[in-house]
Structure 1
């Protein structure tokens, strides 16, 4: 204890007596080094050679308390440089670009410039039979229609399409205002990307499944097997109250017919709703697609995503 006090008094005397002279005779880096070495002898200065004995002492001390010490760098010339080769820089650049392309910022992903397709979810909280918290009005995104929409987005992106996918919850907290909310979502996106002429509102169907027999029946109705894999079926819904109902109906029936020619068991007939509107007037080519139902699993619905994307890709490329 006495030794520490003597040491502290010695440093104080040095600072009081020498500080004014040192501050005038040294440049700022040298002066800073002086203060550091005087005040914190346990900190290693990278520029100063330490005697062999001091090095050994420091090594022993670091072995015991290394994590408690900091490495101090004085002067700009002593800041460690990160050495990256030109190839590494290029690789990092490519990785960043790829990573940025798959990011959702403010619940929106844009896969390419001038996207042509918008995928959104009026009933974002629709989940599948394996969702642990129930499959209605849920925030279990991994087992929801939004996860399926994300896979359809990725598959279309691989095929060269620019896609905007939004994972905004439009049915939460108010389910009754879901279509009013999704219309606002659409209207916030379309002005930014006037290249969009295809819009998809992706849902899953819902049935009353109050007992095991109904659940089994629904799973049989809404699943099939393609290439040895169990997948969920899908279908189109048309709201007959839309001013452009003829075009919406014609498009849904045309794609259904095309899908039947490729995967007859995958697609169900178009469903028409006499009193529905479903915001299908917002884009030149609007589709409300139901992938699976509350009687199918998220795995089965996700397995359908590649086939849905394939059908849409081939259909629109043929039309164009």
Structure 2
């Protein structure tokens, strides 16, 4: 106890310690440096946390963007595919069917033996036939003219007359034979909207020819059977064609001929589809060039009708 008392008395009597200025400065610097390091460490920790959060968010956004973009691309690809498929389908499915029941009908100009006027007069127009130089060339031009305007069609040049000749002609109606090919086409192509049986008339050249702007054209005539139960719609279609041609090319069309309703009258297969018509383009005295000029105008008219529907 005495020792402790002596120690306290000694402390009381000791002079107060005063640190040197150098010691104070160095100590102050060390404390500030320590504090700075501590703050830097805290700041780095905070920055590290913020940076980590940002990186994680950026990665998340990146993957979300990839996912969304992938879905968009997939949808876009499906859209392109569907569009391409639709175009391909339209290209495969025709809108128009062209055929010839009397496919061997020809023209005086195409028969070498028909060189004299006398020979022409002596031969009936129904006898002016040829196995290849015939109305099928007009049908072929019709099909090609439509294709140039991107109007898909089926052109059927079945040799109906050849079939009848090889069989017993008395047992066959040519329209029954051409009917079969038409029915097959309608079953195969359900988008067909117009049917044309292309033939030529037997009338004289004056009746079947138009001189227009320095060129000669084969006049066109539309024939509709009243026997068909689709008569009303077919008549409306034929009149529409006639009126459209008449607007731009007056007198090129000879109009619409209606065959009377009779048990003997053929329907010309016009009961199989609305907008079916028998075309008589020119006559036996017209040339193929005259026929072709008219076919090109008919194609132009059909294009207009299709675009307006």
Q: Structure 1 CA distance, aligned partners of 2:212 and 2:300?
A: 14
1:158 to 148, 157, 168: 148
8 Å contact from structure 1 (residues 237, 290) kept in 2? yes
Q: Deviations over 1:117-138 (max 9, x none)?
A: 0000111011112121676473
Aligned mates of 1:225, 1:257 — CA distance in 2: 19
- Name the structure with the higher helix share: 2
Please give the alpha-carbon distance, in whole angstroms, between the structure 1 residues aligned to 2:177 and 2:303. Answer: 28
**Is 1:233 aligned to 2:219, yes or no?**
yes
Residue ranges of structure 1 left out of the alignment (5+ in a row): 1-110, 208-217
**TM-score when scaled to structure 2?**
0.60
How big is each residue's C-alpha offset from its partner over 1:232-269, in whole Å with a ceiling of 9 and x where there is no partner? 01010010100111111111112111110010121112
- Once residues 226 and 312 of structure 1 are traced to their aligned partners in structure 2, the CA distance between those partners, rounded to angstroms, is 21
- Determine the structure 2 residue equivalent to 1:35: none
Q: Is the 8 A contact 1:239 1:276 kept in 2?
A: yes
CA RMSD of aligned residues (A): 2.0
User: Residue 286 of structure 1 aligns with which residue?
Assistant: 276
Please give the alpha-carbon distance, in whole angstroms, between the structure 2 residues aligned to 1:301 and 1:248: 23
The residue that corresponds to 2:189 in the other structure is: 193
Match of 2:287 among 276, 287, 297: 297
* Structure whose alpha-carbon radius of gyration is higher: 2
> Contact 1:114 / 1:193 at 8 angstroms: preserved in 2?
yes
2:102 corresponds in structure 1 to: 123
| Residue in structure 2 matched with residue 73 of structure 1 by the alignment | none
Q: TM-score, normalised by structure 1?
A: 0.58
Greater relative contact order structure (CA < 8 Å, 6+ sep): 2
Which consecutive residues of structure 2, in runs of 5 or more, have no partner in the other structure?
1-89, 115-124
Residues in 2 aligned to 1:253 and 1:291: alpha-carbon distance in whole angstroms: 16
Give the superposition deviation at 1:200. Answer: 0.7
Structure 1 residue corresponding to 2:302, chosen from 312, 317, 320:
312
Paired residues in the alignment total 198
